[in-house]
């Protein structure tokens, strides 16, 4: 996950060697050292893999995304919102069903860019993803996806544990999330994880009026006061978990601000001209700029919200309404981003994973919408992806629709997806999985989508 | 559990802590007054001065644009100006309201969130104003308000919640379970609160048939509503009613009961709420939330149990008696609690304005600042509302929002109105009053020779619970001496304040 020179650097440094056997080194370093390294090793834009996680908040109705458009249970359960050939669904062939038969599947008509990726072999679809005892609360189910510890009250996140295990000593921008509040997936087992969350790189930095008469810039004085450039006082008060967390977070923010803004400015020129001007479009554009600007970030985390379509999922006809619009936005933003990455030579280093906290029920409700369900389909995209094929099995709709309150059953545990991404894409050794995934599903072998 | 502290423990630090948690802090004078009240008339008097100080909000009316118009709801959402004005109105209530009323109001807004995007334009502000008014009255505790069960029952009839959680589309023959689920999970019993999927279903069935009258806005873009959908004479426009033809009137099983305690069948939403509040789990969940919000992240099981029993059995879900017990308790004043909570966005913003004794800026500025801090009350992150303070990975400390916090002191102290990179905000602040520096630090105290006294005074105002470390004081002293020679003592003082208000320690309360 980190390039060789960086790894060497960490090994050779005295503090790295001294601490690697005990606590995560990130906790032990003085921030002076950390900051010095962040500045002495400029962002390389390296050759390492990049993971972009796109979280679809609210519970995406994947039955209307990866559509079993000839399935009679599906069509019967969704008389007003169902989609079939007459709506121009984009056919992608047959997927295996848990029944043993095969399911004719198609993408939503608004997903033309994803359809093209599928045809090019750069999009894989994983069907039937979920976890045991599905929780239908947005809140809890997201917690489970973030912690990768379903049915427990976890204290940390899977990405936080991954960093603590594999990237001790990494600087603060190993992961970047575009958000005003941090995802709990980043939560480290102890201390602050090497990640930052912000909305807009251009507003990310210390600001002051430059007054005549100051002997040093206030920013420099401030850095000393918080222990960044102070020789003795590292500014971390270990007697309070909360205060030390804020102190570390402040360090992270100050350390990363310079690099982020520089990268964002350097990477500013876009090769794709018609980027969509909406929330997700702007966010994907920001990520593209940071990547092109040479950030050494290995994980980007971005959100598209609004998938909680209890009502008006479809408008008067199924080719309108909230879900229709959301997928249109998704398709446009991903289309521009993928194109930009291809044109600038990053596509083969890129893996994009989409997920939602859960899928939705088979039977539509009384409001041209759907209620919370369980299993869902995931997209995995990238130049190195073994795409154009399905992984996992499509749920048995007839069986699931008979169950009271009709949720779909999973056959691929989402932790397997995470593991596959870490092991097959981020080159994390299999031996690390026990620490990163303290509770594991019975079936936990990596899937070969990459 | 919840044993009151003894009189001889009372200190200035206790008073600072109390005013910070039961409100949004205050000026040195306000904190001193609270300390002396507790010292001279007893801690009970100090706590009572906050808890028994009820608020009916009559001195803080609705925004002018809402009262100038027909109260039947010509509140068409025609521009973003009104959204900004609405948010500023809310923030102003937090600043101007009595301390506990304001803090409890924020607690309720944060835990019963409404997303403005879910409410159509003609009803948006009518519903929001009615809903926030309901919450602020319960937070104020005046008259018949202040009871959590009554509040939740009113919420189940509130237009905003009915609309947001799709209750107006749920009928006996076509159930929408959105409201039923969130009622149990978020508002009362809590996640894993001992209910089943069948209970969610039963609750959803019981609340069927609640409907909203439409609102005919005179705005040209609003379209025409058939008069048969409008509220009858004398009924507020757009209000809620029960359509019995759409209601599921069959008897239900709920939380393991087949009948009500009095023997009747379980049929309506009112029955469901009665059973929910008879369950100790509801009291426990609410106590847990209150403790996390006002005190610390991890109340023990025994403490939750004790609070729950008092809340349900002794206080019948009245909020303020429980708040009084909390504010008197040894646990509330534990040394690991005082000064150990990370401020959320509005704790930070409201507290900052109070400390600097400057007014809330205009609509545009407050809206931008709130958004950058990660708190736009009209667009909650999800139906679970806004995150509570918590130590291990606080969501309010995202790096971008944190940098906004660091830069905000530059806005006020240096009048650096472009610090947030927002041109509208800069224009908005052109006439903004300057800080009264004589009050912050009188001229005669600004001499570098008086630095120990000077920094003491600034810490008392800005860092009353989380003082500077010695190395920081030394560094600031050195800098102050040099700056006051090169520039002048006022500029040097401003620099000190600008830095103090950006420190990690400043994020604590």
CA separation for the pair A332, A277 (Å, rounded): 10
Residue B204 lies in a domain: no
CA separation for the pair A394, A411 (Å, rounded): 8
Which of A235-243's residues contact partners 24+ apart within 8 Å by CB, and which partners?
A235/A31, A235/B504, A236/A31, A237/B469, A240/B336, A240/B340, A241/B391, A241/B392, A242/B340, A242/B341, A242/B342, A242/B391, A242/B394, A242/B508, A243/B340, A243/B466, A243/B504, A243/B505, A243/B508
Two structure tokens written together for A380 = 């995995």
**Per residue in B392-412, is it b (16+ CB within 10 Å) or e — as a string?**
bbbbbbbbbbbbbbbbbbbbb
CB–CB of A186/B384 below 8 Å?
Answer: no
Look at residue B211 and give its three-state secondary structure: strand
- To the nearest whole Å, the CA of B220 is away from the closest chain A CA by 23
Contact B166 A367 (CB under 8 A): yes
Angle in degrees, CA B457, B354, B95, rounded to 5: 160
Residue B244 lies in a domain: no
Look at residue B121 and give its three-state secondary structure: coil
Residues of A in contact with B367 (CB under 8 A): none
The domain of B468 spans: 437-507
Contact A225 B476 (CB under 8 A): yes
Instruction: Name residue A352's beta-bridge partners.
Output: A52, A381
> pLDDT, tens digit, for every residue of A268-327?
789 999 999 999 999 999 999 999 999 989 999 999 999 999 888 998 899 999 999 999
- To the nearest whole Å, the CA of B1 is away from the closest chain A CA by 24
Residues of B in contact with A203 (CB under 8 A): 372, 400, 403-404, 420-421
Answer whether residue A23 shows pLDDT above 60. Answer: no
Confidence band, pLDDT 50/70/90 cuts, at residue A44 = very low
How far does CA A351 lie from the centroid of its chain? 10
> pLDDT, tens digit, for every residue of A383-423?
999 999 999 999 998 877 665 555 788 999 999 999 999 99
Which is more confident, A140 or B314? B314
> What is the per-residue pLDDT for A9?
35
Two structure tokens written together for B410 = 């530059």
Residues of B in contact with A202 (CB under 8 A): 421
Contacts of B166 (CB under 8 A, 6+ apart): A310, A311, A367, A369, B176, B178, B179
- To the nearest whole Å, the CA of A174 is away from the closest chain B CA by 13
Q: How far lies B501's CA from each of B92, B240, B495, in Å?
A: 21, 47, 10
Confidence band, pLDDT 50/70/90 cuts, at residue A215 = confident
Q: Which of B74, B114, B248 is nearest to B172 (CA)?
A: B248
Query: Of A197, A209, A242, which is closest to B416 when you measure between CB atoms?
Result: A209
Two structure tokens written together for B312 = 């349900």
**Domains of chain A by range and CATH?**
28-436 (3.40.720)
* Percent of chain A predicted with pLDDT > 70: 88
Residue B118 lies in a domain: no
Tokens 């224009």 belong to B427
**DSSP of A102-140, one letter per residue?**
EEEEEE-TT-HHHHHHHHHT-EEEEEEEE-SS----HHH
Residue B492 lies in a domain: yes
- To the nearest whole Å, the CA of B418 is away from the closest chain A CA by 9
Residue B252 lies in a domain: no
Look at residue A5 and give its three-state secondary structure: helix
Query: Of A180, A247, A256, which is closest to B374 when you measure between CB atoms?
Result: A180
Strand-pair category, A123-130 with A90-96 = unpaired
> What is the per-residue pLDDT for B78?
65
Q: Is B396 on the interface with A (CB under 8 A)?
A: yes
Q: Which residues of chain B have pLDDT under 70?
A: 68-74, 78, 391-393
Which is more confident, A148 or A19? A148
CB–CB of A117/A338 below 8 Å?
Answer: yes
Residues of B in contact with A235 (CB under 8 A): 504
> What is the per-residue pLDDT for B73?
52
Residue B485 lies in a domain: yes
- From the candidates A137, A154, A190, which should be mutated to test the interface with B, based on the most B CB atoms within 10 A? A137
Contact B393 A156 (CB under 8 A): yes
Residues of B in contact with A192 (CB under 8 A): 393
CA separation for the pair B285, B279 (Å, rounded): 10
> pLDDT, tens digit, for every residue of B96-137?
999 999 999 999 999 999 988 888 878 888 899 999 999 999
> pLDDT, tens digit, for every residue of A236-270?
988 898 999 899 999 999 989 988 988 988 887 89
Q: Which residue of B has its CA nearest to A260?
A: B400
In the stretch 145-174 of chain B, residues with CB closer than 8 A to chain A read 165-166, 169-171, 173-174
Residue B473 lies in a domain: yes
* Percent of chain A predicted with pLDDT > 90: 64
CA separation for the pair A283, A278 (Å, rounded): 9
Contact B400 A198 (CB under 8 A): yes
Angle in degrees, CA A173, A178, A179, rounded to 5: 115
Q: Which residue of B has its CA nearest to A369?
A: B176
- From the candidates B397, B412, B414, B469, which should be mutated to test the interface with A, based on the most A CB atoms within 10 A? B397
Contact B166 A252 (CB under 8 A): no
CB–CB of B194/B255 below 8 Å?
Answer: yes
Confidence band, pLDDT 50/70/90 cuts, at residue A32 = very low
Q: What is the overall mean pLDDT for chain A? A: 86
> What is the per-residue pLDDT for A2?
38
- The ipTM estimated for the assembled molecules is 0.94
Contact A203 B372 (CB under 8 A): yes
- To the nearest whole Å, the CA of B340 is away from the closest chain A CA by 6
CB–CB of A173/B218 below 8 Å?
Answer: no
> What is the per-residue pLDDT for B262?
92
Answer whether residue A7 shows pLDDT above 60. Answer: no
Phi, psi of B407 (to 5 degrees): -85, -20
Query: Of A197, A218, A232, which is closest to B495 when you measure between CB atoms?
Result: A218
- Strands (E) across A278-436 are located at 299-305, 350-356, 376-381, 390-391, 412-413
**DSSP for residue B180:** H
Q: Is B508 on the interface with A (CB under 8 A)?
A: yes
User: How many independent structural domains does chain B possess?
Assistant: 1
Which is more confident, B229 or A108? A108
Instruction: Name residue A130's beta-bridge partners.
Output: A413
**Could you tell me if residue B234 is left (phi over 0), alpha (psi between -120 and 50 degrees) or otherwise beta?**
left
> What is the per-residue pLDDT for A17?
30
Look at residue A304 and give its three-state secondary structure: strand
Confidence band, pLDDT 50/70/90 cuts, at residue A42 = very low
């Amino acid at each position: 996950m980190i390039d060789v020179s960086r790894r060497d650097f960490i090994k050779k440094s005295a503090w790295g060697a001294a601490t690697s056997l005990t606590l995560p080194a990130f906790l032990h370093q003085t921030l002076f050292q950390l900051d010095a390294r962040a500045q002495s090793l400029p962002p390389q834009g390296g050759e390492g893999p990049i993971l972009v996680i796109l979280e679809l908040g609210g519970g995406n109705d994947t039955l209307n995304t990866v559509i079993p458009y000839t399935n009679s249970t599906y069509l019967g359960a969704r008389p007003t919102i169902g989609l079939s050939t007459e709506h121009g669904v984009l056919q992608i062939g047959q997927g295996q069903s848990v029944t043993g038969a095969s399911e004719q599947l198609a993408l939503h008509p608004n997903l033309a860019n994803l359809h093209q990726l599928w045809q090019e072999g750069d999009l894989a679809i994983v069907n039937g993803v979920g976890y045991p005892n599905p929780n239908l609360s947005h809140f809890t189910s997201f917690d489970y996806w973030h912690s990768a510890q379903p049915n427990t009250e976890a204290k940390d996140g899977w990405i936080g544990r991954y960093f603590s295990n594999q990237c001790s000593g990494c600087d603060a921008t190993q992961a970047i999330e575009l958000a005003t509040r941090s995802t709990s997936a980043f939560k480290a087992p102890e201390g602050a994880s090497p990640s930052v969350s912000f909305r807009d790189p251009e507003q990310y930095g210390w600001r002051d009026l430059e007054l005549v008469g100051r002997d040093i810039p206030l920013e420099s004085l401030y850095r000393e006061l918080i222990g960044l450039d102070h020789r003795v006082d590292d500014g971390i008060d270990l007697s309070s978990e909360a205060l030390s967390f804020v102190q570390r977070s402040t360090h992270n923010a100050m350390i990363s601000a310079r690099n982020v803004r520089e990268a964002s400015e350097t990477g500013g020129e876009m090769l794709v001209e018609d980027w969509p001007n909406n929330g997700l479009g702007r966010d994907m554009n920001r990520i593209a700029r940071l990547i092109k600007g040479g950030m050494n970030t290995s994980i980007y985390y971005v959100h598209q919200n609004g998938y909680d379509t209890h009502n008006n999922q479809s408008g008067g006809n199924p080719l309108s309404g909230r879900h229709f619009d959301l997928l249109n936005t998704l398709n446009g933003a991903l289309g521009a981003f993928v194109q930009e990455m291809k044109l600038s030579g990053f596509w083969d280093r890129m893996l994009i994973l989409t997920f939602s906290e859960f899928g939705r029920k088979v039977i539509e409700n009384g409001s041209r919408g759907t209620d919370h369900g369980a299993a869902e389909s995931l997209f995995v995209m990238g130049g190195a992806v073994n795409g154009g094929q399905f992984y996992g099995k499509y749920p048995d709709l007839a069986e699931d629709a008979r169950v009271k309150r009709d949720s779909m059953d999973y056959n691929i545990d989402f932790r397997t997806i995470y593991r596959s991404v870490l092991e097959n894409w981020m080159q994390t050794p299999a031996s690390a999985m026990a620490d990163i995934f303290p509770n594991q599903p019975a079936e936990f072998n990596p899937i070969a989508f990459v | 559990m919840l044993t009151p502290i003894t009189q001889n423990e009372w200190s200035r630090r206790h008073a600072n802590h109390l005013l910070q948690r039961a409100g949004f802090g205050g000026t040195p004078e306000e904190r001193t007054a609270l300390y002396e009240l507790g010292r001279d008339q007893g801690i009970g008097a100090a706590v009572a001065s906050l808890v028994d100080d009820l608020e009916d909000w009559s001195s803080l009316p609705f925004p002018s644009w809402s009262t100038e118009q027909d109260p039947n709801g010509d509140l068409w959402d025609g521009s973003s100006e009104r959204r900004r004005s609405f948010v500023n109105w809310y923030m102003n209530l937090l600043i101007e309201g009595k301390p506990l009323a304001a803090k409890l109001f924020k607690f309720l807004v944060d835990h019963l969130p409404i997303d403005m995007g879910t409410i159509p334009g003609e009803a948006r502000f009518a519903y929001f104003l009615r809903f926030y008014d309901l919450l602020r009255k319960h937070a104020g505790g005046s008259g018949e308000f202040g009871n959590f069960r009554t509040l939740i029952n009113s919420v189940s009839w509130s237009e905003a919640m009915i609309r947001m959680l799709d209750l107006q589309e749920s009928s006996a023959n076509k159930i929408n379970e959105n409201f039923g689920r969130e009622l149990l999970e978020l508002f009362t019993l809590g996640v894993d609160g001992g209910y089943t999927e069948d209970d969610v279903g039963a609750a959803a069935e019981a609340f069927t048939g609640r409907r909203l009258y439409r609102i005919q806005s005179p705005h040209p873009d609003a379209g025409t509503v058939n008069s048969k959908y409008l509220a009858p004479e004398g009924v507020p426009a757009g209000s809620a009613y029960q359509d019995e033809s759409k209601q599921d009137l069959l008897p239900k099983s709920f939380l393991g009961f087949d009948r009500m305690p009095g023997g009747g069948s379980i049929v309506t939403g009112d029955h469901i709420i009665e059973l929910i509040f008879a369950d100790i789990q509801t009291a426990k969940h609410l106590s847990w939330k209150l403790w996390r919000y006002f005190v610390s992240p991890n109340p023990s099981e025994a403490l939750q149990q004790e609070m729950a029993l008092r809340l349900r059995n002794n206080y019948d879900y009245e909020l303020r008696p429980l708040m009084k017990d909390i504010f008197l308790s040894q646990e509330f004043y534990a040394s690991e609690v005082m000064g150990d909570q990370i401020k959320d966005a509005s704790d930070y913003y409201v507290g900052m304005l109070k400390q600097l004794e400057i007014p809330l800026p205009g609509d545009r500025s407050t809206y931008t600042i709130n958004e950058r801090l990660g708190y736009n009350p009209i667009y909650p992150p999800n139906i679970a509302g806004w995150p509570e303070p918590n130590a291990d990975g606080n969501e309010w400390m995202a790096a971008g929002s944190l940098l906004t916090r660091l830069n905000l002191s530059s806005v006020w102290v240096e009048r650096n109105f472009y610090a947030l990179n927002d041109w509208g905000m800069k224009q908005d602040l052109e006439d903004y009053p300057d800080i009264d520096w004589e009050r912050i630090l009188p001229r005669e105290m600004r001499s570098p020779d008086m630095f120990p006294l000077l920094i003491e005074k600034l810490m008392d105002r800005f860092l009353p619970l989380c003082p500077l470390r010695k190395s920081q004081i030394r560094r600031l002293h050195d800098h102050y001496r040099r700056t006051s020679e090169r520039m002048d003592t006022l500029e040097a003082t401003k620099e000190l304040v600008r830095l103090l208000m950006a420190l990690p320690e400043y994020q604590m309360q």
